[in-house]
Structure 1
Amino acid sequence: MSTALRPMSPRDPHEDGRVASSLELFFDLVFVVAVSTAASELHHQLADGHVLDGVVSYLMVFFSIWWAWMNFTWFATAFDTDDWLYRVTTFVQMAGVLVLAAGIHPAFTDGDLRIVVIGYVVMRLAMVSQWLRAARQSPAHARTARAYAVGITACQVLWGASLLLDGTVATVAVVVLIACETAVPAVAERFEVTPRHPHHITERYNLFTLIVLGESLLASSNAFYGALHGAADVTDLVLMASLVLVATAAMWWIYFWPAHHRCVHDLRSSFRYGYGHFFVLAAAAAFSAGVEVEIGRLVATAEGDHAVLHVMSAVEASFTVTVPIALFLLTTWWLAIRAQAPRSVNVALPLAAVVVLLDPLVPVPVVVVAVVLVAVVVLLVRHAPVPHSTSG
């Protein structure tokens, strides 16, 4: 890397061999911490029976994680210079992620969003400096870059003001601010569409999906650990760990079956793919929380801990696993698979999601989930993605 700053001119959207940089991979590491903390706190809230509060807190926190990651990712695909100033600004954003992660626990337990908001604002203001630099050095995209900078800055001022609110008013303010944040790109891109490299941007989403799926593998490992240390019946825990591994592997297979770069071909499809991934990623991370809930019930059953068992029924606990998987299947199908799949796959995948969702009502829920997911994988193995029209 040269010590001289490079002009922040738009990257070629057709650049050969464009892949995620080492800086982007380093950037993702801090999000591992934030995602893991959010999933862990969701698990504790669900296990304590605070389902609604836990889910609402999780969605708000996960939005702050995902939105900051997504904005950096789309900016990088358009203007990444990888010079020393770009790197230092990225490190500031990473610091904001770590601050945000430190505030996740009080956000869940006390509804205290102050630390989360502070970390979030640090990330977003660092992003503003990047857009201002792009506005100065890329005349063709100056209006768009300034619109981003103004919109993001206004939102951060309002986030700071929201800390003065409490109760229902504060919750409503968060919802309104989330809507404002998501509206900024839609407004800014109307001036001049920023360039996007389909292979690069979808690779970045693929990598983040691997991060959140990794949380489920950690949950599977925890079940194996419990079996080795006698936390509950060995057979039950080993079976649970094995089924979770099978389910996670199947989710990976399903997600990576289509050619994701085909999903990003114009502004509309880019927004659909980018925004829709919130549900894919949030569901995959929540799946690990549900697995931990199920493991907790197995341990409580073995130890005769009725206080734990009375908090959530077996059926309710199973829904903490099946709802995230069903949402993951539906959104992955809608965003990436639907336009590239033959009729048989387009019928089978939504049907599989419904079966998985209702699976807790049968005697062996987790087993059936694994069987259904494996059946979907077998169907995908028998078919290859097909080219599709880019009109919709």
Structure 2
Amino acid sequence: MTHHIAHKKVTWLELFYDLIYVAAISITAHVLTHAHHGAIDASIILKYTLIFVPLWWAWTGFTVYVNRFGKDDTAQRINYFVQMAFVIVMAASINVDFEAYYLYFMIGYVGIRLSTVWMYARIWKNGKSEPRSIARFLTLSFLVGALISFSSVLLPDDWKFIALYAGIFLDIVLPLIGRRILVRLPVHHPHLLERYGLVTIILLGEMILVIVNGLREETVTISTVVAALIGFVMAVAIWWHYFESSEHTAEEEQKNSGQLVIYGHLFMYMSLGIIASVVHYGFHHDLSVRNFGWLAWSGFGLYTLSAALVFHQRAKSKRQRVFAFYMPAGLLVVAAVVLLMLPTVTAVYAALAGCFVVQALLVVVGLRGKGLR
């Protein structure tokens, strides 16, 4: 009973922690809604990526620590609240004019990473045998990455961005290089999927917020009602596909480093940000039909590929491979043709929702075929 109560406390605190990221995620997705002359400038897409990656990695770093070593003690609770404060600093500094707010963004990111390093260092100092060796590896790896990123304050012009992202890149790559070390202490797979599922709900909530804002900002007409319905159907289809797949994957016994789940969700979360911007442009027709089609297909494609990576990594039988890889690949090809050929924004928007509905149905059919539903 005591263990169950402690777990509930950690779960509620984790949810509180996730909710602090809502503002940062919302603002980051909003970066893509700055269109000019019917197109999104390449620099905007680059900024979206450069902002999203450290935001995802900052959240992921502490989430994976809690998954392996977390316990509901005072030090961990304080660390949660310290990181929340740094997340607020990051969120306040997210802007299309990234250069002007760079210093605050960097301080927020490095603060989160150093507080995570401190938690790993505690395990290194006080832990035993295997957990201690893994904590030592991650402490040193993440400390080097954070210090490289922090060194960017000493550099001029674009060199500061190079240093910041060099540190982030090293931070992300070193666990991949050290995978053989990390598998000695596998992640708790169901808990990891639950944590990423909570953030997925937040991102789907961002889509709903875009729909609500679209209805509030525009005169209510048949066009805006249709746009809202299409966006809602799309959010429901993504929810259905994601959580049907996640529930099934969580039931499988897996003892590994969880890196397919961890890194695959980077692209999945980026895709959901893109799809939220698609919903925005479904109300505000600021993109040309062709550019809207490319944006829609990019979001769908990135989601489909990342979902295959995260949820269908263990497909072995022929039927499993058909539903896990071949049908999504075929749907991706069909989507490319349809979304880039339709004549109006509304038609592309509706077709994208249809692609997600078909994808959700494929999962349902696939699971029923395996006797799991």
1:380 lines up with 2:360 in the alignment = no
Residues 349 and 376 of structure 1 are in contact (CA less than 8 Å); yes or no, is this contact kept in structure 2? yes
Report which stretch shifted further, 172-181 or 125-134.
172-181
Q: Which residue of 2 aligns with 1:330?
A: 305
> How far off is 1:338 after superposition?
5.8
Residues 149 and 168 of structure 2 are in contact (CA less than 8 Å); yes or no, is this contact kept in structure 1? no
Deviations 1:219-252, CA, capped at 9 Å, x for gaps: 122222245xx2xx71111111111111111111
* Counterpart pick for 1:76 among 54, 60, 66: 66
Residues 20 and 88 of structure 2 are in contact (CA less than 8 Å); yes or no, is this contact kept in structure 1? yes
Report which stretch shifted further, 253-262 or 163-172.
163-172
CA–CA distance in structure 1, aligned partners of residues 113 and 93 of structure 2: 16
In structure 2, give the amino acid aligned to 1:257.
E
> How far off is 1:176 after superposition?
2.7
> How far off is 1:215 after superposition?
1.2
Query: Counting helix residues as a fraction of each chain, which structure ranks higher?
Result: 2
Report which stretch shifted further, 120-129 or 371-380.
371-380
1:342 lines up with 2:320 in the alignment = yes
1:214 lines up with 2:208 in the alignment = no
CA–CA distance in structure 2, aligned partners of residues 386 and 181 of structure 1: 41
TM-score (norm. length: structure 2): 0.85
CA–CA distance in structure 2, aligned partners of residues 86 and 64 of structure 1: 22
* Counterpart pick for 1:94 among 84, 87, 94: 84
Unaligned runs of 5+ in 1: 3-10, 298-308, 388-392
* Counterpart pick for 2:334 among 355, 374, 378: 355
What fraction of aligned residue pairs are identical, expressed as a percent?
Answer: 25
In structure 2, give the amino acid aligned to 1:379.
L
Deviations 1:249-284, CA, capped at 9 Å, x for gaps: 11111112222325772436x112211110001111
Residues 155 and 181 of structure 1 are in contact (CA less than 8 Å); yes or no, is this contact kept in structure 2? yes
Helix, strand or coil for the counterpart of 1:21? helix
Residues 1:69 and 1:128: Cα distance change in structure 2 (over 3 Å)? same
Helix, strand or coil for the counterpart of 1:265? coil
> How far off is 1:112 after superposition?
4.3
Q: Which residue of 2 aligns with 1:64?
A: 54
In structure 2, give the amino acid aligned to 1:120.
Y
Residues 1:317 and 1:151: Cα distance change in structure 2 (over 3 Å)? same
Deviations 1:291-342, CA, capped at 9 Å, x for gaps: 2133222xxxxxxxxxxx5xx4222133323311221122102320364563
> How far off is 1:152 after superposition?
1.7
Helix, strand or coil for the counterpart of 2:185? coil
In structure 2, give the amino acid aligned to 1:342.
Q
> How far off is 1:95 after superposition?
0.8
Helix, strand or coil for the counterpart of 1:274? helix
Q: Which residue of 2 aligns with 1:223?
A: 214
Alignment of 1:199-210 (within 5 A): 199-210=190-201
1:131 lines up with 2:120 in the alignment = yes
1:255 lines up with 2:242 in the alignment = yes
In structure 2, give the amino acid aligned to 1:146.
R
1:117 lines up with 2:106 in the alignment = yes
Report which stretch shifted further, 67-76 or 324-333.
324-333
Residues 186 and 256 of structure 2 are in contact (CA less than 8 Å); yes or no, is this contact kept in structure 1? no
* Counterpart pick for 2:132 among 135, 142, 146: 142
Q: Which residue of 2 aligns with 1:367?
A: 350
In structure 1, give the amino acid aligned to 2:123.
A
CA–CA distance in structure 1, aligned partners of residues 260 and 133 of structure 2: 23
Count of equivalent residues: 356
Residues 96 and 123 of structure 1 are in contact (CA less than 8 Å); yes or no, is this contact kept in structure 2? yes
Q: Which residue of 2 aligns with 1:237?
A: 224
Q: Which residue of 2 aligns with 1:275?
A: 263
Residues 294 and 318 of structure 1 are in contact (CA less than 8 Å); yes or no, is this contact kept in structure 2? no
In structure 1, give the amino acid aligned to 2:196.
Y
Q: Give the superposed CA RMSD.
A: 2.9
Residues 113 and 163 of structure 1 are in contact (CA less than 8 Å); yes or no, is this contact kept in structure 2? no
Helix, strand or coil for the counterpart of 1:159? helix
Residues 1:281 and 1:60: Cα distance change in structure 2 (over 3 Å)? same
Report which stretch shifted further, 357-366 or 241-250.
357-366
CA–CA distance in structure 2, aligned partners of residues 190 and 42 of structure 1: 38
Residues 1:322 and 1:209: Cα distance change in structure 2 (over 3 Å)? same
CA–CA distance in structure 2, aligned partners of residues 164 and 368 of structure 1: 49
TM-score (norm. length: structure 1): 0.82
Residues 1:41 and 1:48: Cα distance change in structure 2 (over 3 Å)? farther
In structure 1, give the amino acid aligned to 2:194.
E
In structure 2, give the amino acid aligned to 1:356.
A
Residues 1:385 and 1:165: Cα distance change in structure 2 (over 3 Å)? farther
